[in-house]
């Protein structure tokens, strides 16, 4: 009787659906969460809030998957690289980013991964392309997205994805067609959003929160 309309309660519940689902928390800028300087590159992934999953196509086995459903509770940071519009294997930006991540002494992968550990022991790095999966060869993706892992050093093919035609993650999550890097904390909250060329910012973000390996 306190409501003007029987629909008022239902409308309120829908408007605040994030709260009962546990997704309304928003972390402010800190060492674990960057500011919103580059939020426009991926507006659909609000900084400091829970990572909002969306469907993508896993290229290796042509299997549609929710990107966020592959976020295991293993303590690793996720680095989602949304590619520019160049076809797989032809993006110089992604090639340079891969080389930097695997080889440069300032790269968080090089600085913080324990000696002898797999390349993705601390950082689960995935790429999402814009092209149709039928035009792609997963082996053309840069090496950082195809690490050799495990006891036998087998190549992990489950880190290369592409957008779906009828459910394009770039449109659904307002990701720039020029590409973007979305860093997600182990608790699945968005920690940083950067352009593909932001090497210094990527390195400096992890420096205060990771232990450098000898």
pLDDT of residue 62: 95
Q: Is the pLDDT of residue 6 over 90?
A: no
End-to-end CA distance of the chain: 68
Tens of pLDDT, residues 107-158: 999 999 999 999 999 999 999 999 999 999 999 999 999 999 999 999 999 9
**DSSP codes of every residue in 165-191:** SSS-HHHHTTB-TT-EEEEE-TTSBEE
At 16, the pLDDT band (50, 70, 90 cuts) reads confident
Query: How many angstroms separate the Cα of 55 from the Cα of each of 66, 69, 171?
Result: 4, 9, 12
pLDDT at 99: 97
pTM to 2 decimals? Answer: 0.91
């Amino acid at each position: 009787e306190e409501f003007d309309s029987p629909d008022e309660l239902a409308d309120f519940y829908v408007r605040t659906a994030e709260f009962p689902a546990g997704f309304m928390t928003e972390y402010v800028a800190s060492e674990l969460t960057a500011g919103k300087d580059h939020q426009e590159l991926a507006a659909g992934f609000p900084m400091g809030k829970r990572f909002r999953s969306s469907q993508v196509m896993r290229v290796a086995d042509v299997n549609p998957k929710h990107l966020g459903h592959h976020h295991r509770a293993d303590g690793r940071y996720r680095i989602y690289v949304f590619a520019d519009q160049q076809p797989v294997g032809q993006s110089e930006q992604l090639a340079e980013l891969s080389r930097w991540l695997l080889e440069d002494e300032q790269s968080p992968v090089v600085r913080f991964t324990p000696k002898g550990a797999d390349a993705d022991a601390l950082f689960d790095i995935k790429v999402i392309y814009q092209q149709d999966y039928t035009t792609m060869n997963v082996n053309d993706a840069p090496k950082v997205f195809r690490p050799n892992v495990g006891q036998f050093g087998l190549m992990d093919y489950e880190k290369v994805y592409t957008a779906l035609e009828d459910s394009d993650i770039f449109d659904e999550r307002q990701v720039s067609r020029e590409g973007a890097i979305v860093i997600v904390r182990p608790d699945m909250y968005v920690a940083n959003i950067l352009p593909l060329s932001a090497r210094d910012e990527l390195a400096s973000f992890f420096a205060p929160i990771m232990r450098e390996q000898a």
